[in-house]
Structure 1
Amino acid sequence: MRKRTLYTILAAAGILTVASCKKYLAVDSPSTVLLDDVYNSVSNTNSAIVGTYAMLIGDNGYGSRIATLFPQSGDDFRTSGDYNADDRRGISCYGASPANTDLPNCFNQLFKGIERANNCIKYIPLSKPYTSGSENDKKMMRKMLGEALTLRAQFYYEAVRNWGDLPAHFVPAADLTDPYLPRTNQDSILDHIIADLATAEELVPWRSESPDQNIRITKAAVKGLRARIALARGGYALRTASKTMERGSDYKKYYQIAMDECKDIMDHPTEHSLNPVYENLFKTLHSATRLDNEHELIFEVGAFGGNASSDSKLGYYNGMRHNASSKYGGGGGGINAIPTYFYEFDSIGDIRRDVTLNSFEIDADSKKIATTGAAMTDGKFRRSWTSIIGTAQNLAVNWPILRFADVLLMYAEADNEINGAPSATAQDALLKVRKRAYVGYESRIPAIPQDKEGFFKAIVQERLLEFGGEGIRKYDLIRWNLIAAKFAETKDKLREFMNGTGRYANVPAYIYTKAAPYAVKSSGEEMATMDLYGGAPAKVFFEPGLGTSSAPSGSGYTSKAWRASVTEDYISGDRKGYVRYFEANKKELFPIPLDAMNSNYKLEQNFGYK
């Protein structure tokens, strides 16, 4: 089985892991004998590479914090609970302190991954299997070198997009003449890893040629990540020197890289294409049974082992809320939807809404019952989609790093920017994503804009609808320099929602619900079979209803605040307020953790923090 196989490799890798960071750049000197032994064997080199992959997952990687906390908040989701500068709510409210407890272990793990990759990148080309081994040995070693370059790029990209300028650390720590490195301009770091990925894509095979497809990095993953990082490099970023959001005058050079890389993936449709069933992508992440024959999932982070280091808490911390007494066990609810996000989707045709958003939860009797408007959760992660029941917190749910839909939309965005208007190919790329979303309701697909500005706005909206809950939206808004504007726009929408005005004039203040059977059918079916007073959900959520907090007497229904769940405190309160502490040109980046600052006297704190 896929997850068991990789877990076994990781367990073996534990005895061969080379030098790595205990704290930022505080490392043990590696043994030359051990390193020679590792990299002069294809099998042992493979274990070292798998040990580098291991730095992607776990509580401090994409198994929890980096995936579920770092991307909050955008105009789609936020972290539940009240603001505290020193925990996860501080991240979501853009008021994290340098002492925030959810930042330092993630920071250290990213640099630990960089260090492991650095050792692989140095020693693989020096090894006997690489220089004088059999042709098969050379092929495997080249592949693993490409994987190491790609993993280092991913670790550095994640670090840079969250902390900005950082020390450039592209050799093993043991080779540094001075372990205390100052910060390097983020553009320089991104340029370096974009160049690395150009090398890596020549070393790593396409999926169909890979001996371990669906487990390891393949050529499309390298190209797709290179496109994503190029768009970030060509986008806006918070600059240390100017203390403002800026992008370089040569940004189109990077858009061209993104367009070219995406086009190459698109030109290999037998390798990757769109899964016709949107929901199956996310069910695939929950099980060893893959429902993605089209291989839309290009790069996912594997979770396995039932522990905090190699597994994930996806579906336990985030995702659909399950009562602990249900037959599935407890979990979910750590991430809540912005209530207005529900109304961004076409109310009839867009099947993505009911996959992306849970407007119901699972009660103690294992039935579904409607939530309040402010308590909707991210729907792509659900404990009930796994086979793990009881009290376990680690559910072996993978995290999606890159999908083919993203390749299509990155291509469309880059093409539009470079050409000053979308080409026919760019328009078709956007249309392909929409056709999947509106399957069965194709007549409701919005018209594709022909002009540059209109097409860009369509891309901005489509990415909101396509990738909700996948850790993408906040970083899109930052690279477009739209984050402050979208936050202001969302606050205006929330006030209209609260007051029942504008586009929300017919949205009910309250809904009335009974528990209904939950059969783990498709999300659309489960939504349609909710028991709501007044009729089907497609009607109830779009009509004013009774407008009272009391359910009809003797009806057996329970009242749930829908529009009434949003108050001014939810919008602007000091403890509950949506993005309450965001400051443009300051809070687009996190504070560098105190632990890292104390470990390196040359580091300077990001200027938005004290």
Structure 2
Amino acid sequence: MKNKILIITGLILAAMLSSCGEDFMEAPAKSTLDEQLIFSTPGLTKGAIDGIIEPMMETNSYRGRFLPFYGTNTDTEYLYDSENDGDAEGELARYVATANNASMNRDDNAWAEMYKGIERANICIRGIRTYGNPEPGTELGQYLGEALTLRAVYYADLIKAWGDVIARFEPINSETVYLPKSSRDIVYKQIIADLGEAVTLVAWPNETNLTTSVERINKAFVKGLRARIAMAASGYQQYPDGIRRSKDPELSVANMYQLALTECQSVISSGTVSLFPTFEGLWRNLNEENYNAGLESLWEIPFADGRGRVTFTFGIRHTSVDQHTAQPRGGQAGPVANLFYDFDEADERRDITCIPYEWGTAVDIGNPEYGFAQQEYTDSKRWYFGKYRYEWMNRRVTSTNDDGMNKIYMRYAEVLLIAAEAANELQGPGAAAPYLKELRRRAFKTTDYATKVDAYVNALGSKQAMLDAIVEEHKFEFTGEMERKQALIRWNLLGTKLAETKDKLINLKARTGEYADVPSTIYYKYAADNETLITYGLNRGEIYNPGPDYTAINWDRVTEDRTNTLYSADPDTKQFWPIWQVFIDGSNNTLTNDYGY
């Protein structure tokens, strides 16, 4: 049974949490239940910690706005609404969002919900420190570590989407209702320090009964998150005065890369997590809703069955109710068309990541509840992410708006790549090689190790060659997880890689350059189950008809509109969204937008 996220109600909610919105027009209501009782009682404290996560579940928060729309339109991912002129969600992806964006400019938006979560974390942190005696190895120590970590998650995502943001590390009072933005460097340093404390408080995966599920915070995740944030803090990003690294010496490459490497090596040497044995198995495990800690997933946003839109947004599209789902959704975004052909054909991640079909309209087979659908190639010109599939789930999704699938927030593969990148910078490519090899071994068959793993990695003889390989490996590993955009920003490659992708799409459409040998016709038939496609012609050079039982169709999945709407403004001038106008207007003149908004 899926572990439902506890939404605070009743006594604890009335006691602790403000009912006011993120506009902070008034301070939180005075507690009607003494904080001393709440934060000296582990059971009540646990409920309060669960309440920190609850704002993620709201429709206009992570659930229906932040996760679906932050991170699309990179060199790997494309939001299909981008090609609809004037579409508010498309504008978010195409780097032309405005402060009045119709999808985002509302007072219960992700910005507001993130700060609601931060306020709840601040109350918990103060309460546990004051009344809880949170020593390492204790239940209340674990909960303090969780509160510090969840606050860091919110702040990391605020910075990722908006750059400089309001720094609030104490509960709101009458004097702090209105605050201006702070330098993100201040926030980075605070949450890196907070995570350093959290590391001493929370347990490793499966070390205690509180860390047996990936829906709760554990030490491997805290260390991995600290490494991720350290890399972002020292990386390139857009500041009001241009794209640069931080000028704060504490956030230098030397300091932050060493911190990241140390934390990643600690996770790796702990043996508490590892790569899932196969890439397909990793994603089947997620879709089957196995939340056991100690596998590859380090922490997941724990959506309940009736909340969350992960498969709803990113899954393989089902056009109607059918044998696999009562929710005909999926396919709002997908891989850019060239990505399939950029993979090595032997890379087992390719056919999990890039799916060229959807599930067609179900036909009546006499079942009173649903019909039977087949996988179909269509003229929709779309690819789909294959990491999220209704057909791999153990339960039938019946909600019209939500699928309940968890969102993996971080996994062990990223720890390996951060370790490789940091080791390469600090010690050279030889030190990075073992981490990159470990990740590639999962991507290829053992018969390919000599060439695809050992020879490939051993040939990376310079820091630049190794970094270039890590950038590519990140692409093939994380497409469809909305991790690519921030990585490209911190490498100072966002605009460059998007421009390259436009050129690639043009060449793919024309079948020229690196795509000259991509077939223009594919051939398909159905397997014995009468629903699964068997296809010839997807791979380069497969140009002949394999037999009379195959059906031939034209294979051109690139359009001018889609190529031209990958971005509509220079991405490097719009790395962040604007703060939405409703929050500017409600800030008592303390908030303004940068970056030309």
Fold agreement, TM-score > 0.5: yes
CA deviation string 1:452-487 (max 9, x = no partner): 000000100000001111111011000111001101
Corresponding position: 1:571 with 2:570:
no
Q: Which amino acid aligns with 1:77?
A: E
CA distance in 2, matches of 1:167, 1:8: 26
1:318/1:331 contact within 8 Å kept: no
Equivalent positions of 1:87-106 (< 5 A) are 87-104=88-105, 105-106=109-110
Are residues 372 and 442 of structure 1, via their aligned partners in 2, closer, same or farther at CA, if it must alter by over 3 Å?
Answer: farther
Q: What's the CA shift for 1:10?
A: 8.2
Are residues 35 and 86 of structure 1, via their aligned partners in 2, closer, same or farther at CA, if it must alter by over 3 Å?
Answer: farther
Residue number in structure 1 paired with 2:242: 243
1:20/1:116 contact within 8 Å kept: no
CA distance in 1, matches of 2:9, 2:75: 37
CA distance in 1, matches of 2:167, 2:493: 28
Corresponding position: 1:173 with 2:179:
no
Residue number in structure 2 paired with 1:407: 415
Residue number in structure 2 paired with 1:120: 124
Residue number in structure 1 paired with 2:142: 143
Q: What's the CA shift for 1:9?
A: 8.0
CA distance in 1, matches of 2:192, 2:169: 13
Corresponding position: 1:471 with 2:475:
no
1:275/1:294 contact within 8 Å kept: no
Corresponding position: 1:284 with 2:259:
no
Q: Which amino acid aligns with 2:279?
A: Y
Q: What's the CA shift for 1:211?
A: 1.6
Residue number in structure 1 paired with 2:365: none
Q: What's the CA shift for 1:17?
A: 5.4
CA distance in 2, matches of 1:293, 1:209: 10
Q: Which amino acid aligns with 1:63?
A: R
CA deviation string 1:565-598 (max 9, x = no partner): 32333222xxxx21122342x2101011111111
2:420/2:433 contact within 8 Å kept: yes
Equivalent positions of 1:130-529 (< 5 A) are 130=133, 139-174=138-173, 177-212=175-210, 213-214=212-213, 215-240=215-240, 242-248=241-247, 250-269=252-271, 271-289=272-290, 294-306=294-306, 311-327=307-323, 328-329=325-326, 330-347=328-345, 349-364=346-361, 365-371=372-378, 374-386=381-393, 387-390=395-398, 392-419=400-427, 421-424=428-431, 426-440=432-446, 441-446=448-453, 447-448=456-457, 449-514=460-525
1:149/1:197 contact within 8 Å kept: yes
Q: Which amino acid aligns with 1:317?
A: T
Q: What's the CA shift for 1:101?
A: 3.4
Q: Which amino acid aligns with 1:287?
A: E
Partner SS state of residue 273, structure 1: coil
CA distance in 1, matches of 2:375, 2:451: 29
Q: What's the CA shift for 1:331?
A: 1.1
CA distance in 1, matches of 2:486, 2:508: 26
Pick the aligned partner of 1:590 from 542, 566, 577: 577
CA distance in 2, matches of 1:21, 1:255: 40
Partner SS state of residue 172, structure 1: coil
Corresponding position: 1:559 with 2:546:
no
Q: Which amino acid aligns with 1:570?
A: R
Partner SS state of residue 211, structure 1: coil
CA deviation string 1:364-400 (max 9, x = no partner): 2321123458400111111222212445332221101
Corresponding position: 1:68 with 2:68:
yes
CA distance in 1, matches of 2:7, 2:68: 26
Partner SS state of residue 299, structure 1: strand
Residue number in structure 2 paired with 1:109: 113
Equivalent positions of 1:13-28 (< 5 A) are 18-19=17-18, 21-28=20-27
Are residues 518 and 235 of structure 1, via their aligned partners in 2, closer, same or farther at CA, if it must alter by over 3 Å?
Answer: farther
Q: Which amino acid aligns with 2:570?
A: F
Cα root mean square deviation, aligned: 2.7
Q: Which amino acid aligns with 2:46?
A: N
Structure 1: runs of 5 or more not aligned: 521-525, 547-551
Are residues 97 and 510 of structure 1, via their aligned partners in 2, closer, same or farther at CA, if it must alter by over 3 Å?
Answer: farther
Residue number in structure 1 paired with 2:367: none
TM-score normalised over the length of structure 2? 0.89
TM-score normalised over the length of structure 1? 0.87
Partner SS state of residue 244, structure 1: strand
CA distance in 1, matches of 2:359, 2:493: 36
1:7/1:305 contact within 8 Å kept: no
2:236/2:243 contact within 8 Å kept: no
CA distance in 1, matches of 2:229, 2:434: 23
- Which 10-residue stretch deviates more, 88-97 or 434-443? 434-443
1:373/1:566 contact within 8 Å kept: no
2:26/2:177 contact within 8 Å kept: no
Are residues 389 and 146 of structure 1, via their aligned partners in 2, closer, same or farther at CA, if it must alter by over 3 Å?
Answer: closer
2:119/2:172 contact within 8 Å kept: yes
Are residues 177 and 341 of structure 1, via their aligned partners in 2, closer, same or farther at CA, if it must alter by over 3 Å?
Answer: same
Partner SS state of residue 309, structure 2: coil
Q: Which amino acid aligns with 2:126?
A: K
Q: Which amino acid aligns with 2:316?
A: M
CA distance in 2, matches of 1:452, 1:107: 38
- Which 10-residue stretch deviates more, 275-284 or 437-446? 437-446
CA distance in 2, matches of 1:163, 1:517: 51
Q: What's the CA shift for 1:209?
A: 1.6
Are residues 302 and 322 of structure 1, via their aligned partners in 2, closer, same or farther at CA, if it must alter by over 3 Å?
Answer: same
- Percent identity (aligned): 30
Q: What's the CA shift for 1:155?
A: 0.1
CA distance in 2, matches of 1:122, 1:140: 16
